[in-house]
Amino acid sequence: MLRIASYNVRSMKDDVPALGRVVAALRADVLCVQEAPRFLCWRRRRRRLAAFGGLTVAAGRRRGGVAVLTGPGVRLLHGEGRLLEPFFPLERRAIAIAVVESEGRRVAVGSIHLDLDETARRHHAAEAMRLLREVADRFDALPVLAGDINEQSGQPSWRHLTERLTDCYPVSPRGDGFTFPARGPHKRIDAIFAMDGLSVVSCGGVDADPADLVAATDHLPVIADLDHPRPEAGDRPGPAAGADPGTTPVRSSGVGDHPGATPGEPDPDPPGEPGEPGGREFP
């Protein structure tokens, strides 16, 4: 079973010890983060966030404020951050994608934070879905998209996503599903969407101290426990193209913050610094 979580951490501006306890309580194999730290000491702060849950930074870039963190229970194959098309003067959006292998099956997990503006939100929902599918197809992986959608079930961007993936919460709900605001939640604007082929064991909130959940940030986290059929003998996906079959392929890419960087296209030599083994952080 694979546990994927999604959490808007509001740039770690609130009660950081409380946030750390919530992240630890998630016990996630993969954690999709929105409003990850973007400014002063952002790399160090993201590593600190990951460490709360025994995770490492696997994918993401500074701009856009989204990241994917992965744990020791999965094998990281690839991580990248992509800028989405700009909508001036709105905040720049991005998608972070990590491809992991669990029990012989590959999953491409994307983290997104859609805009409050409906036009930008609808466009970015479609663009993020397309980019995630491209990566998933390249690695023979099943796509999972998680994040802060900034609208509720039945609205246009949500419908676009559920026409392509399954909203995990209604399949096997745990709790009332509300994620916003953390104090007195009454909206479900954060969600996890999974491809057919992954069965939803349960989806909902985390069993954490209610006081910590209110103090940590303005959103509540979402957890989806997903299962998938074990591969038959000889059915395990092979290594990525060009990889040495005898090694663990760990790839990373991002869009460079340089003139001419194109939305949706990776920088062939992105600046940044290596993180822990199996992960990399991107500018």
Q: 118 pLDDT exceeds 50?
A: yes
Cα–Cα distances (Å) from 4 to 25, 58, 205, 224, in that order, read 13, 14, 12, 5
pLDDT confidence of residue 276:
33
What is the mean pLDDT of the segment spanning 231-251?
A: 43
Confidence of residue 230 (pLDDT cuts 50, 70, 90): low
Confidence of residue 246 (pLDDT cuts 50, 70, 90): very low
Q: Residue 69's domain is classified under what CATH number?
A: 3.60.10.10
> Total structural domains in the chain?
1
| Structural domain includes residue 151 | yes
How many alpha carbons lie under 13 Å from residue 75 in its C-beta half-sphere?
Answer: 13
Q: 240 pLDDT exceeds 50?
A: no
What is the residue range of 196's domain?
2-231
Task: Report the C-alpha gap between 256 and 107 in whole angstroms.
Answer: 25
DSSP string of 19-33?
HHHHHHHH--SEEEE
pLDDT confidence of residue 38:
96
Residues 247 and 240: beta-carbon distance below 8 Å: no
Q: Helices 42-52 and 16-26 sit at what angle, rounded to 10 degrees?
A: 50
Among 53-57, 124-128, 130-134, 254-258, whose mean pLDDT is lowest?
254-258
| Structural domain includes residue 165 | yes
| Structural domain includes residue 252 | no
What percentage of residues in the chain have a pLDDT greater than 70?
Answer: 81
Q: 1 pLDDT exceeds 80?
A: yes
| Structural domain includes residue 258 | no
Q: 34 pLDDT exceeds 90?
A: yes
Q: 283 pLDDT exceeds 80?
A: no
Residues 111 and 144: beta-carbon distance below 8 Å: no
| Structural domain includes residue 45 | yes
Q: 77 pLDDT exceeds 50?
A: yes
What percentage of residues in the chain have a pLDDT greater than 90?
Answer: 79
pLDDT confidence of residue 268:
35
Q: How many residues does the chain have?
A: 283
Task: Report the C-alpha gap between 278 and 103 in whole angstroms.
Answer: 17
Of the two residues 262 and 79, the one the predictor is more confident about is 79
| Structural domain includes residue 214 | yes
| Structural domain includes residue 251 | no
| Structural domain includes residue 192 | yes
Confidence of residue 13 (pLDDT cuts 50, 70, 90): very high
What is the mean pLDDT of the segment spanning 250-270?
A: 39
Coil vs helix vs strand at 249? coil
